Amino acid sequence: MFSTKLVLFSFLVAAVACEELDFPPGFQFGAASAAYQVEGGWNASDKAENIWDRFVHDKPHFIADLANGDVACDSYHLWRRDIEMAAELGLHFYRFSIAWSRLLPNGFADKISEDGLNYYNNVIDGLLEKGIQPMVTLYHWDLPQSLQDLGGWTNPLIVDWFGDYARVVFSHFADRVKIWITINEPLSFCDGTYSYGTNAPGIYDPEVGTYLCNKNVLLAHAKAYRIYDKEFREMYQGELTLANHLMWYEPFTPEDEELAETARQYMVGRYSHAVYSKEGGWPPVVEKIIAEESKTKGYSKSTLPAFTDEEIEFIRGTFDYYAVNHYTSRLTRLAEEGEVRDMTQGLPEINVTYEVQPDWKRAHSSWLFVYPEGLRNQILWLRERYGDMKFIVTENGYSSSTGSQDTERIEYYKEYLKQILLGIKEDGLNIAGYTAWTLMDNFEWGDGYNSRFGLYQVDFTSPERTRTPKASAEFYKKLIQRHSLNVD
Ligand code: PNW
């Protein structure tokens, strides 16, 4: 009798534990990629050169092994296989980006490429035929070179150029695409380009360039959002936002909390406050720091360009959800005199040095340390600062070198997804979906083909760019099938 009760009891406990690992009904799983990283076909048909084409060809030493994305995964030709993989995994949605200069070879809306249109129509229709929702990013770092020649993201006219491009995209694809990201990770391409010079087009201008880019990016995003609102929303009922790269900052010691908050405001607030906060505009602490620094350096005014009241209103509230790209975390402390401070070691702009805990395992990428709790803390912080809203994790993943027995990647996904579940179940966070970065191994920017984030392995030595599922693909497939982390 006693033992029967015990068996029943343990059964119940197990059932509850299992349920705890279930995702809420309606929670969506996807995987992501980006045009330059997978498409190849860099000069196919009438596609024009973009800043990454130019960067890898002219400054190959910025890329490991002098690699480039000329062919990459050749998704320009192999898109059918990509869709097949998305279907094999059972994805609810697939996130990919449109190459601006493939659709608009001049960068402007005067000429729309037939082949460009066909390519993206094929991908969108192919996904929908398999019941997979397309999630489309308009800009994932590949600016047409023609627009770069006119100043790129530092020219305020880019707000209109991006608006015109967005209108073309919406008018051709918004009948079938319901979920959009206007711009992917402005932090990576504004700061990555101008503060560090390591991203295309490799222009180093940290004091002025970065902040010009910041302002124009926020206005360009808002422009696309307003165009959608006015001309397309009623008809198509889609959802838009921009995607931010969020590295979570914790204080090194409790005394460093204020510093950690400044780091968050500088790295996250700078790209979020204008859009998601009630007041709009720049985060006050960032405004103050840059104004003071500009003064000390002898500038006539702050190098962080001010917003007019109209601009603040124009940008404020231009979101339907928050897109979270998150991989890793840092501990922050004040940099000591003479300490080397560059992008890998801290934030020179605000005198911050990074630390990591010794038990945060490093992935293949030099910047990726595993700290799953960081994801939950990050989203909690966003809710606290900007209010309750819908969150979608639009990127999260782990890099390794070649190989398909990727148990570390499975572990990473499990641990980070567990934090999402805790966020939903214990904190009541409204997290509606999760996107694994990435569907297949691809061109990982400065790391070339060395850091591999894929669920599928790609053989870059074969002309067919053969794709084979890794162990993590099997894991992800089961997880999606069961809608639960209870996967053996
Ligand atoms: C993202 N960091 O970039 C990009 O959106 C992807 O294109 C890229 O392949 C992926 O993450 C993996 O790198 C990041 O320094 C760039 O923490 C830098 C960082 C994180 C993500």
| Average pLDDT of adjacent 10-residue blocks, the chain of 488 residues | 52 61 98 99 98 98 97 98 98 99 98 98 99 99 98 98 99 98 97 92 95 98 99 98 98 97 98 98 97 97 98 98 98 86 78 94 97 98 98 99 97 98 98 99 98 98 97 98 94
SS3 97: strand
Record the tokens describing residue 487, joined without a space: 């996967």
**Residue that is written with structure tokens 């030493």 in the block:** 61
User: Would you call 261 a catalytic residue per the annotation?
Assistant: no
457, 470 contact by CB (below 8 A): yes
Predicted pLDDT of residue 18:
66
439, 455 contact by CB (below 8 A): yes
Pick left, alpha or beta for residue 308 (phi over 0 → left; psi -120 to 50 → alpha; otherwise beta): beta
- Alpha-carbon span 341 to 353, nearest angstrom: 7
Secondary structure in 3-state letters for 342-409: CCCCEEHHHCEEEECCCCCCECCCCCCECCCHHHHHHHHHHHHHHCCCCEEEEECCCCECCCCCCHHH
Distance 246 CA to ligand 1 centre (A): 10
* Number of residues that this document lists for the chain: 488
- Alpha-carbon span 44 to 333, nearest angstrom: 49
User: Looking at the domain 26-482, which fold is it?
Assistant: TIM Barrel (3.20.20)
Choose the catalytic residue: 239, 250, 287, 395: 395
Which residue's alpha carbon is nearest to atom 13 within ligand 1?
A: 444
Which residue's alpha carbon is nearest to atom 21 within ligand 1?
A: 245
Torsion of CA 90, 95, 99, 104, to 10 degrees: 100
**Residue that is written with structure tokens 């911050």 in the block:** 352
Antiparallel, parallel or unpaired: β 431-437 and 28-32: parallel
Of 265, 266, 283, residue with least CA distance to 274: 283
Record the tokens describing residue 140, joined without a space: 């994932």
Q: Which atom of ligand 1 is nearest to the CA of 343?
A: 15
- Alpha-carbon span 418 to 193, nearest angstrom: 34
Distance 178 CA to ligand 1 centre (A): 24
Which residue's alpha carbon is nearest to atom 12 within ligand 1?
A: 444
167, 123 contact by CB (below 8 A): no
10 Å Cβ neighbour count for 54? 17
Ligand 1 test: best mutation among 190, 325, 449, most atoms within 8 Å of CB? Answer: 325
Predicted pLDDT of residue 17:
61
270, 286 contact by CB (below 8 A): yes
User: Would you call 84 a catalytic residue per the annotation?
Assistant: no
Which residue's alpha carbon is nearest to atom 8 within ligand 1?
A: 444
- Alpha-carbon span 398 to 400, nearest angstrom: 7
Q: How many Cα atoms sit within 13 Å of 41 on the Cβ side?
A: 20
Predicted pLDDT of residue 1:
45
Distance 212 CA to ligand 1 centre (A): 22
Q: Which atom of ligand 1 is nearest to the CA of 397?
A: 12
Q: Which atom of ligand 1 is nearest to the CA of 445?
A: 9
What phi and psi values does residue 486 have, to the nearest 5 degrees?
-80, 70
Peptide bond into 438 cis (omega under 30): yes
Which residue's alpha carbon is nearest to atom 3 within ligand 1?
A: 188
- Alpha-carbon span 239 to 228, nearest angstrom: 9
What phi and psi values does residue 12 have, to the nearest 5 degrees?
-65, -45
Of 364, 360, 386, residue with least CA distance to 374: 360
Q: 262: part of which helix (H) or strand (E)?
A: helix 257-264
Antiparallel, parallel or unpaired: β 456-458 and 352-355: unpaired
Predicted pLDDT of residue 80:
98
Predicted pLDDT of residue 337:
80
Q: How many Cα atoms sit within 13 Å of 469 on the Cβ side?
A: 14
Q: Helices 407-425 & 471-482, crossing angle to 10 degrees? A: 30
Q: Which atom of ligand 1 is nearest to the CA of 243?
A: 5
Distance 296 CA to ligand 1 centre (A): 33
Q: Which atom of ligand 1 is nearest to the CA of 367?
A: 15
Ligand 1 test: best mutation among 188, 198, 246, 453, most atoms within 8 Å of CB? Answer: 188
Residue type, 475: F
Record the tokens describing residue 238, joined without a space: 């889609």
Which residue's alpha carbon is nearest to atom 7 within ligand 1?
A: 34
Distance 10 CA to ligand 1 centre (A): 43
Domain range list for the chain: 26-482
Distance 467 CA to ligand 1 centre (A): 22
Ligand 1 test: best mutation among 185, 242, 369, most atoms within 8 Å of CB? Answer: 185
- Alpha-carbon span 37 to 46, nearest angstrom: 19
- Alpha-carbon span 367 to 197, nearest angstrom: 17
Choose the catalytic residue: 39, 185, 311, 349: 185
Alpha helices in 90-232 (DSSP H): 100-103, 114-129, 145-148, 158-173, 186, 209-231
- Alpha-carbon span 118 to 105, nearest angstrom: 14
Record the tokens describing residue 2, joined without a space: 């006693």
Which residue ranges have their beta carbon within 6 Å of ligand 1? 34, 37, 184-185, 188, 245, 247, 325, 327-328, 367, 395, 437, 444, 453
Distance 398 CA to ligand 1 centre (A): 10
Q: Which atom of ligand 1 is nearest to the CA of 453?
A: 12
Residues 6+ apart with CB under 8 A from 285: 261, 262, 265, 266, 269
Residue type, 289: I
- Alpha-carbon span 197 to 467, nearest angstrom: 33
Distance 265 CA to ligand 1 centre (A): 19
